[in-house]
Amino acid sequence: MHSLLGYSWAEIASIVAILSVLFSGVYWLIRHGAKVLNNAISVGTFPLQQQFKELTNTIRQLNNNFEEQHKSLKELRDEVDKHHDELIDHKNRIQNLERDKK
- Tell me the whole-structure pTM to 2 decimals: 0.47
Predicted pLDDT at 100 = 83
The per-residue pLDDT for range 61-100, each reduced to its tens digit, is 999 999 999 999 999 999 999 999 999 999 999 998 888 8
Q: Which DSSP category does 38 fall into?
A: H
pLDDT attached to residue 2: 66
Average pLDDT, the chain: 91
DSSP assignment string, 42-100 = HHHHHHHHHHHHHHHHHHHHHHHHHHHHHHHHHHHHHHHHHHHHHHHHHHHHHHHHHHH
- Long-range CB pairs of 53-56, under 8 A, 24+ apart, other chains included: none
Domain residue extents for the chain: 3-101
Find out whether 12 and 4 touch, Cβ atoms under 8 Å.
yes
